[in-house]
Structure 1
Amino acid sequence: QAVAATTPDHPERAGRLSNLGAALQARFDATGAPTDLTAAVDVGRQAVAATAPGHPNRAGRLSNLGAALHIRFTQTGSPDDLDAAVEVGRQAVAATAPDHADRTMYLSNLAIALRARFERTGSPADLTAAIDAGRTGAEAPAAAPRLRAIAARGWGAAAGAGERWAEAAKGFEAAVALVGLVTPRSLARPDQEHLLGELNGLAADAAAACVRAGRVERAVELFEQGRGVLLGQALDIRTDVTELADAHPDLAHRFLRLCEDLDRAGGSAGSPPVVGGLSAPAAAPADGRPRAIVAEEFDAVMVQIRERPGFAGFLRPPPVEQLRKAAGQGPLVMVAVSRFGSCALLLTTEGVDDVPLPLLTPNAVYEQVVEFLDAFGDTARAGGTGEKRLDGILGWLWDALAGPVLDRLGIIGPPARDRGWPRVWWCVSGLLSFLPVHAAGHHDTRRGARPDTVVDRVVSSFTPSIRALLHARRTAVAGPEDGRPEDGRPKDGRPKDGRPKDGRAGRVLAVGMPRTPAMHELPGAQAETEALARRFEDRAVVLTAPRATRDAVMTALRASEWAHFACHGIAEIADPSASRLVLYDRPLSVADLTPLRLERAELAFLSACETARPGGRLADEAIHLASAFQLAGFRHVIATLWLISDSVAVDLADQIYATLAAGGDPASAVHQATRDLRDYLPRRPALWASHIHAGA
């Protein structure tokens, strides 16, 4: 109506046509109606025709038309539309000054169209032009970091499409380097998450390109740097500053104060930071300064620290030599799922090896996750085939991933009776995070000498990143406010890893919600907390309704070494920071846990549903309750991948705590309980494969 009410010679007609075209394209995106897309192209052409050469908005309207034409090509396969998209894309770039902030966006759109035409025709000229457009856009200093990162990713993708692997690695390397600028600390958490969603899968593509280029160690570094970005920022402000404090105590205290202020500015007040034996001065006020101001001061202090001799690498992405320290207790398996060739990066103390995984394509992973979610829903229906379908998925995981990895590591069967179980840490990304890699296998082979099953060969643990694993293994140190000696060893004789010599816990928090308003009852929650009270006696602090309030739990967490939650858990796939444990008055969410600094924390047992399930769009960020408890300070977290059986949870918890009381470690306790339940209910993977161990 606005266009119809505007005369052909009206100066606003082109703008209104352009707005109509954008609205039509948005409706096509929502509904898939081809008539809307055709109308968007027609209106876009009218908008360009109504815009005079030299007009400041002409380039943008040309680029929008090119995007609509490219989308229509993907729907119809019409080469004329693709040729037109390339042509108007080139006109948009030519109509833009080299230092214009939007030029990078136009270059990205052009690169996409050129790459599509190369993939259709094989034209080397189009491939070179697509790479050049992406590279030029990525290197434009006037553009926003987000646009530069998208252009750099396009640069890498174009080179990868032409199997120019060295060039592809450079493009993806540039994109990963920009990720931190895309999500600066000055942004609120929801804004950071939104922007990161546009870069999902970048780290896997970067790793795959580096492997194809023969740069395997660089693949590890980029896979680590390009995922878990928000987790990495949070770990930055939990870093050990002992060396900095020894050399420059004033800078160390300023750094710690700003770390605390960043948490306060983020909206959730946590405990003051206690890092490397130092705590920030207690007198600092919560002055309510905007987060942007705090972030600016933080960045300025970082520059000052890095200018000091010996601190140039402070909080920079760690090199592979430092990352290899995490493999001291067993190999790390970093799994990159990419259209450029999926692979597993095996990080050991000897170096890095790569295992090609040709069956683990992005499409195959997507199909298996869809099948998994549907099959799991089918397990609750009488006569359903859900369990059989889940068993098939476990077999596929073995064939596509776990089998080739364990064979390459030389772990081909159970250990000898006089040998301990080997350990493996899995670091998975994207949609693969939804699947139970630790339970992969053909379980009808479990009794053979060389079983094709993970649980009959290794003890599995998970980590969202290598840095998170190193954080979980940090030496437990604390200041005088803990009443601990200066060497960090607690008065009760616990070693610095926090686990008592006799295998028993210090203070244990047990939270149980057997009855929750508007939710089904969990009688097992009461059984779990009562069992903990009997087992740990005067060391147990039991909070059940009505005492299990959010504030009471948060307070008790700060004084506890072990924490057990038997309650409802809710994973929010679309908003993972809102995933939560349901308490008496208010839930305990990921966002609530993120600011906590619990140096005494050892083990969190999350006996609730879906506590390790990631977000869909943000699967690379590993945002879930398990990682939140790790970030808060717990070295070990026992969590669940899906909805769990109330009665089975009671038995599993009892067996796991019995193993711990006998001196076992949490990972081995979960492994043994899983194997025993698998042997008892081999055809019920929904019951026996739900629990995982994450952390040290």
Structure 2
Amino acid sequence: MTALWLGTQHRRVNGVGSIILEREAAELCMQKHRDRWVALNKIASRLSTRYKQLGRVVDLNDTIALRREGLELRLQGHPDRSTSLNNLAVDLSTRYNQLGVMADLDDAIVLDREALKRHPHRSMSLNNLAVHLSTRYNQLGAMADLDEAIVLGQDAVDLSLPGHKDRSSSLKNLASVLYTRFMQLRQADDKNSLFNIYAQLVDAPQLVSSTDLSAARAWIRVAEEFQHPSTLLAYETSLRLLIHHLAALPPLPQHLIILKERSSSLAVDAFSACLRRGAYVRAVELLEQGRSVFWSQLSRLRFPLDDVIASGPAGRLLGDEFTQVASLIRITLNSRCADQHGPLCHLNLEMQRIIINIRELPGLSRFLLPSLFSDIRHAASEGPVIIVNASRCGCDALVVLHDRDPVHISLQITQESVRDLSVQLHASTERAKKFDVTRELGSLLRNLWDHVVSPIVDFLLTTLPLQSRIWWCPTAEFSVLPLHAAGPCRKGERNLSDLYISSYTPTLSALIRARRPAPSNTSGGRKRFVAIGQANAIGQLELHSVGTELANIGQHIGGLASFTQIEDPETCISRVAEELCKSEWVHLACHGLPNRIRPFESAFALHDGHFTIERIMRCEPENPQFAYLSACHTTVGDEESPDEAIHLASAMQFAGFRSVIGTMWVVDDGETNKITSTFYKHMVDESGCLDHIYI
């Protein structure tokens, strides 16, 4: 009968079928289960799920009708009556939020009160009633509702000890009603209590849920509103909870997309908050901790367990224990067990023990902790790293130097104006396919120079010799702008490229890692170099110069490396993945296909399909050193979250390649061939070996 119900459900979702079929399915379910309440509850749950998917009020109405019918079957004293009360109250509250009928909210409160009488020490019942009373206060303004909501909220917090699954939810709800009463009465005690409540989030367990993250973000919003002294602590707590939450999740793209949404703008806002308070060193630490947070957990950079497992037998054992306990915590959090508090407390204590033991291993004292500035400042050992940040509170540059504290430069441009520049750039590069846009690009580069790069250069000229190396670390909307090409673009005046040699890095840690000595290879000292070309990908315009490009590379590289060339039919996804895993140097000449809506689907166009970022993430290169991406748009990232740097170039870098060359827009097929040929002529060090360090 379950299969029949699911089939009926599917047809109804797609606009076929009727409520009569649902009732028939319900009767069949009842015959099987011989328990009308169980059948009604199952059907109501499915209708509720469908309402959440499609937003059809008729489904919500049917759900409530079935819940009422089920409640009548669970009389006073029945052990399942509390479940019926809670479910019906939640659905009535949902309908109130949808339609605004006060009777639904009043009914929900009545049901909450009865559920609370049955379970006076249940934090969920306390929370539900407190939230519904607060909602009614917002509608009717009865202070008695708000006062009672605060009392109930405090009771819920008192019952939810650290480690309890409902604790963060209880803290967030109580803080919310305290905020509401403070805004109404302006009593200092409420404001103090509000931030005392939020400060308890600092004691969240090692592995946390999305509710913990939501509560910490609420703390940030309120702290920023009042410019409270706890603002930086709120950011620090949010970033720490985000990283611990990620550590408990399997590294799957669907989880990364969720975390991308939860981490959106967090790092850049934390950076801006630190700058506004003069905490420049802390700004670098928090940005490094939070930026591209899921990438940082997927690589070595990627995932912190890699270093743990690589440390030796003890590390491998602890890494296995960490993974196992993290899995058990996920299972427990997602279970419907009535009492999760005991198991979660035990698991969190076990996780804390494992983490403490990991931190005692050599070189792992900072496991799951943010990097210290004393360590990450080494990124500037060969030239300054210039962090350029855009947030809703303003735009700034912070120059990280190796031998002194960072230098702050306030930029006279707004986040909205930076966004406008990125839109203009995208439009110009699209028009460049058919028209001459030299004048448009010149105007854009002048604006970028006047409002962003010129003030930074004014400082550099006082401390740095001309033709020195500098590294740009752009964030947010700056990530898609060609800072290296900025200049007055007028005859007789010098552009940035005439003054300094620019490179980019997504994080300071990535730059440090790129400079580490590469492990010795197994090819008799010769690097393994693969040149991959796909000129005739299905559905794409033919690239006429790919064959010539690969041949020219072979002439430059053939005597310096173990050189492999694969083209057209050979460039299937499985073969390219295999070559990436065993080659130290990689050159890809093909179409780049950015996807700004679903960035993990951005891809290289190969013979048998799309070689996506998701597929790149599954590669485990043995000794990756350098990748040249001779394709269009390889640094075009997520439209909604540009700071997360989810694009093809960053995917290659965080897969392990120390240096990566990518493109910001469409590149001409013929010109690309000339550029790559010139480039490889100069990729030989003084000893006659290939060298990527100075890229």
The two structures have a TM-score, normalised by structure 1, of 0.71
Aligned CA distance change for structure 1 residues 694 and 533 (closer, same or farther; 3 Å): closer
C-alpha distance in structure 1 between counterparts of 2:628 and 2:488, whole Å: 28
Alignment of 1:420-431 (within 5 A): 421-431=467-477
Identify the residue that residue 235 of structure 1 maps to in structure 2: 300
1:219 CA displacement: 1.6
Q: Are 2:271 and 2:284, in contact at CA under 8 Å, matched by a contact in 1? A: yes
Deviation (angstroms), 1:581: 1.1
Query: Pick from 554, 559, 584: which aligns with 1:533?
Result: 554
Given the alignment, which residue of 406, 412, 436 partners 1:359? 412
Give the SS at the match of 1:643: coil
Do the aligned partners of 1:102 and 1:143 also contact (CA within 8 Å) in 2? no
What is the CA-CA distance between 1:328 and the residue it aligns to? 0.9
Partner residue, 1:436: 482
Contact 1:196 1:618 in 2 (8 A): yes
Q: Distance in 2 between matches of 1:434 and 1:666?
A: 33
Report the Cα distance in structure 1 between the residues aligned to 2:489 and 2:667, rounded to whole angstroms.
21
The answer for the alignment partner of 2:389 in structure 1 is: 336
Q: What 5-or-longer segments of structure 2 have no aligned partner?
A: 1-60, 73-80, 117-123, 326-347
Distance 1:442 1:21, change over 3 A: farther
Partner AA of 1:235 in structure 2: R
Q: CA deviation at 1:399?
A: 3.6
Tell me if the contact between 2:635 and 2:663 (Cα under 8 Å) persists in the aligned partners.
yes
Alignment partner, residue 648 of structure 2:
625
Partner of 1:172: 235
Q: Please tell me whether residue 570 in structure 1 is matched to residue 593 in structure 2.
A: yes
Residue among 446, 461, 465 paired with 2:503: 461
Asked if 1:191 corresponds to 2:280, the answer is: no
Contact persistence 1:563–1:603 (CA under 8 A): yes
Residue type matched to 1:47 in 2?
Answer: A
SS in 2 for 1:609: coil
SS at match of 1:555: helix
Q: Which residue in 1 is equivalent to 2:220?
A: 156
Give the length in aligned residue pairs.
586
Counterpart AA for 2:536: R
Distance 1:97 1:557, change over 3 A: closer
Match of 1:426, SS state, is strand
Give the secondary structure class of the aligned counterpart of 2:380. helix
2:515 matched to which residue of 1? 473
CA offset digits 1:435-482 (Å, max 9, x no partner): 2232233323x632xx3x432322221111111111111111237xx1
Does 1:593 find its partner at 2:616? Answer: yes
Pairwise CA distance, 1:57:
4.3
Provide Cα deviations, 1:45-89, integer angstroms capped at 9, x if missing partner. Answer: 65335542663546336537867998x9xxxxxxx8899997797
Alignment-derived partner of residue 47 in structure 1: 108
Q: 1:104 to 1:554 in 2, by over 3 A?
A: closer
For 2:687 and 2:141, how far apart are their aligned partners in 1?
65
* Cα pair 1:513 1:567 within 8 Å, conserved: yes
CA distance in 2, matches of 1:577, 1:154: 28
Q: Which residue of 1 aligns with 2:91?
A: 19
Question: Structure 1: how far apart are the matches of 2:520 and 2:250?
Answer: 31
1:372-406: per-residue Cα shift (whole Å, max 9, x none)?
444544445669xx765554443343344322222
Higher deviation after alignment, 613-622 or 540-549: 613-622
Deviations 1:121-175 (A, max 9, x none): 99867754553443245545599443333323333332332233x4211221222
CA contact (8 A) 2:133 2:146 kept: no
Q: In 1, distance between residues paired with 2:237 and 2:661? A: 37
For the Cα contact (< 8 Å) 2:67–2:87, is it kept in 1? no
Report which stretch shifted further, 605-614 or 330-339.
330-339
1:59 counterpart letter in structure 2: N
Alignment of 1:256-275 (within 5 A): none
Structure 2 CA distance for partners of 1:439 and 1:230, relative to 1, 3 Å: same
d(CA) in 1 for partners of 2:430, 2:292:
29
The answer for the alignment partner of 1:657 in structure 2 is 680
Q: Is 1:327–1:349's contact at 8 Å kept on the other side of the alignment?
A: yes
Q: Larger RCO: Structure 1 or Structure 2 (Cα < 8 Å, ≥ 6 residues apart)? A: 1
Change beyond 3 A, Cα 1:145–1:442: farther
Contact persistence 1:105–1:137 (CA under 8 A): no
Task: Please identify, of 628-637 and 107-116, the stretch whose mean Cα deviation from structure 2 is larger.
Answer: 107-116
Offset at residue 549 of structure 1 (A): 1.6
2:386 & 2:569 partners in 1: Cα distance? 44
The question of whether the paired residues in 2 share the 8 Å contact of 1:323 and 1:467 is answered with yes
* 1:616–1:695 Cα change, 3 Å: farther
Given that 1:429 and 1:620 are in contact with CA atoms closer than 8 Å, whether structure 2 keeps it comes out as yes
Letter in 2 for 1:304: N
Distance (Å, rounded) in 1 between the aligned partners of 2:486 and 2:187:
43
Letter in 2 for 1:98: D
Match of 1:265 in 2: none
Please tell me whether the aligned partners of residues 508 and 541 of structure 1 are also in contact (alpha carbons under 8 angstroms).
yes
Q: Which residue does 1:93 correspond to in 2?
A: 153
The answer to whether the Cα contact below 8 Å between 1:85 and 1:113 also exists between their aligned partners in 2 is no
User: SS of the counterpart of 1:623?
Assistant: coil
| Structure-1 residue corresponding to 2:665 | 642
From the two aligned structures, give the one with the greater helix fraction. 2
SS of structure 2 residue aligned to 1:438: helix
Q: Deviations over 1:519-574 (max 9, x none)?
A: 22111323322322343346542211111122222333344332211111122323
Query: How far apart are 1:239 and its partner, in Å?
Result: 8.2
Deviation, structure 1 residue 515: 0.6
Post-superposition CA distance 1:236-273 (Å, at most 9, x none): 5788999998xx853356579999999xxxxxxxxxxx
Q: Report what 1:349 is aligned to.
A: 402
One-letter code aligned to 2:131: S
- Partner of 2:406, secondary structure, is strand
Contact in 2 for aligned 1:604/1:629 (Cα 8 Å): yes
* 1:23-42 superposed matches below 5 A: 39=100
The answer as to whether partners of 1:44 and 1:61 remain within 8 angstroms in 2 is: no
Q: Is 1:319 aligned to 2:372, yes or no? A: yes
Residue 666 of structure 1: how far off its partner (Å): 14
Distance 1:645 1:565 in 2: 15
Match in the other structure for 1:59: 127
Shift of 1:346: 1.7
Which residue matches 1:398? Answer: 449
> Which one is further off, 529-538 or 628-637?
529-538
Equivalents in 2 of 1:430, 1:68: separation in Å?
39
The normalised TM-score by structure 2 is 0.71
| Change in 2 beyond 3 A, CA 1:250/1:460 | same
Corresponding residue number in structure 1 for 2:492: 447
Change (3 A) 1:313 1:325: same
The question of whether the paired residues in 1 share the 8 Å contact of 2:627 and 2:652 is answered with yes
What amino acid is aligned across from residue 19 of structure 1 in structure 2? D
In the other structure, the counterpart of 2:43 is none
Specify the alignment match of 2:459 in structure 1. 408
> Residue 202 of structure 1 corresponds to which residue in structure 2?
266
Does the residue aligned with 2:408 lie in a helix, a strand or coil? strand
Residue 120 of structure 1 and its aligned partner are, at CA, apart by: 11
Contact 2:109–2:132 (CA under 8 A) maintained in structure 1: no
Aligned-residue sequence identity (percent) comes to 25
Retained in 1: the 8 A contact 2:389–2:396? yes
Q: 1:642 to 1:59 in 2, by over 3 A?
A: same
512-521 or 622-631, which deviates more: 622-631
The CA distance in 1 between the partners of 2:227 and 2:352, in whole Å, is 39
RMSD over equivalenced CA pairs, Å: 4.7
In the TM superposition, residue 321 of structure 1 has moved relative to its aligned partner by 0.9
Is the CA contact 1:430–1:620 (under 8 Å) kept in the aligned structure 2?
yes
Structure 1 CA distance, aligned partners of 2:148 and 2:393?
29
2:244–2:368 contact (8 Å) kept in structure 1: no
